[in-house]
Structure 1
Amino acid sequence: MLSSLVNVLDRLFRVLLALLMATMVLCVTWQIVSRYLLGDPSPWTEELARFLLIWIGLLGGSFAYHVKMHLGLDLISAKFEGRARFWHEVFVHLLVIFFAATVLVAGGLSIVQLTAELQQHSAALGVSMSLVYCSLPISGVMLIFYAVIALVEAVRARRIDTAVSAAEVKS
């Protein structure tokens, strides 16, 4: 059940990130064409590219964490073995959950609420800035979800390793 949910989320994430990237590439390409070939730069493309980059960076970071492609979180763990590695991984996942809950979710919801109350809109596109800032709590929730999955997997792997070690000692 949980693995099927994770698989569905992974597929959605891949498609969403690919669409965001494709949109950003088209947007930047249009900016170049309109600026250098037409001589009249499009006023909205730079802002849209910036907003897309924010969403891609935050959502992509949480997805990279899930697929263990986030370089910074694996560097130190790789130096440990056995029990020390397990406890280090647990510590890192708990730290990620804490950061995501406090900074991304709580702080993100706070800034989304503030910009919605102030009715702050972007200059070129005229979209509500709260939509742009929604990337913070959404990526935070995804990061928490993926960190909990990683914790469960680490505990399961540790139990299997412990059971195998106990069986080897008995034989």
Structure 2
Amino acid sequence: MKSLLIQVNKAIDQFNRVVGWGLAFLLLTMTVLIFWQVFARFVVGKPLFFSDEIARFAMIWLTFIGAGYAYRKGTLISVDILLEYANVRFAYVLRVAVVLCSALFALIIVKYGFDLVGRVSNQTAPSTRVSMMWPYMAVPLGGIVILVNSVALLIDEILGKEHLKQAEHQPPEVS
């Protein structure tokens, strides 16, 4: 059972590696588009008509997908004063409860996100004429990333701190 949980966590870590590269690509795309928009407007004198809209869509995707990525990495803001002063058992129960609540919230985001995508799928963006389904699709997919990473965090809690220390000291696998 323990080895299965470790394998699931390794698969989620690989998933997060791909997500991280996707987020980096979105950030690069957004930066290049905004730079080019400013350059084209003030130097060339003819701005691109679509760059700000695509940059906005990239920002939406960065926000929703990045939230799940940051959740797994532990870089989201949190109030952990209760964990500081709680005994070990209560802190464990509290951490598991927080992960389960986050997973429930992610399920709600996924369900209502897909409902939202269905409602806006016949609308198009003004500049690019792209279906508004694509920017709104970031909502349920971000919820899925949060849900997947909630599973990983729950596995981390089940396996305990020793598992995390062993994972940090293992050499990277060569593929």
Normalising to structure 2: TM-score of the pair? Answer: 0.82
| Residue 108 (structure 1) aligned with residue 76 (structure 2) | no
Q: Is the 8 A contact 2:113 2:136 kept in 1?
A: yes
Distance 1:75 1:25 in 2: 37
- Structure 2 residue identity aligned to 1:107: Y
| Residue 49 (structure 1) aligned with residue 52 (structure 2) | no
| Residue 153 (structure 1) aligned with residue 153 (structure 2) | no
Identity rate, percent? 25
Q: Is the 8 A contact 1:73 1:92 kept in 2?
A: no
| Residue 142 (structure 1) aligned with residue 145 (structure 2) | yes
Per-residue CA deviation, residues 2-33 of structure 1 (Å, 9 max, x unaligned), is: 13312321220121011101100100001110
Moved over 6 A (4+): none
Q: Is the 8 A contact 1:122 1:129 kept in 2?
A: yes
Distance 2:57 2:117 in 1: 15
| Residue 27 (structure 1) aligned with residue 33 (structure 2) | yes
Q: Is the 8 A contact 1:86 1:158 kept in 2?
A: no
The counterpart of 2:95, out of the listed 80, 85, 89, is: 89
Deviates more, 1:83-92 or 1:15-24: 83-92
Per-residue CA deviation, residues 87-138 of structure 1 (Å, 9 max, x unaligned), is: 1111111111111111x2011000111112xx10100111111111111111
Q: Is the 8 A contact 1:65 1:143 kept in 2?
A: yes
What corresponds to 2:10 in structure 1? 4
| Residue 65 (structure 1) aligned with residue 71 (structure 2) | yes
| Residue 38 (structure 1) aligned with residue 39 (structure 2) | no
For the pair shown, the structure with the greater C-alpha radius of gyration is: 1
Query: More relative contact order in 1 or in 2 (CA 8 Å, sep 6+)?
Result: 2
Per-residue CA deviation, residues 20-77 of structure 1 (Å, 9 max, x unaligned), is: 0110010000111011111222211111111000000111110000011112265654
Query: How many residues align structurally?
Result: 157
- Structure 2 residue identity aligned to 1:50: R
Indicate how the Cα distance of structure 1 residues 76 and 19 shifts in structure 2: closer, same or farther if over 3 A, else same: farther
Task: Provide the aligned C-alpha RMSD in A.
Answer: 2.0
Indicate how the Cα distance of structure 1 residues 82 and 142 shifts in structure 2: closer, same or farther if over 3 A, else same: same
Distance 2:79 2:150 in 1: 12
Normalising to structure 1: TM-score of the pair? Answer: 0.84
Indicate how the Cα distance of structure 1 residues 80 and 49 shifts in structure 2: closer, same or farther if over 3 A, else same: farther
Any idea what SS the aligned residue of 2:74 has?
coil
Indicate how the Cα distance of structure 1 residues 45 and 136 shifts in structure 2: closer, same or farther if over 3 A, else same: same
Distance 2:123 2:86 in 1: 48
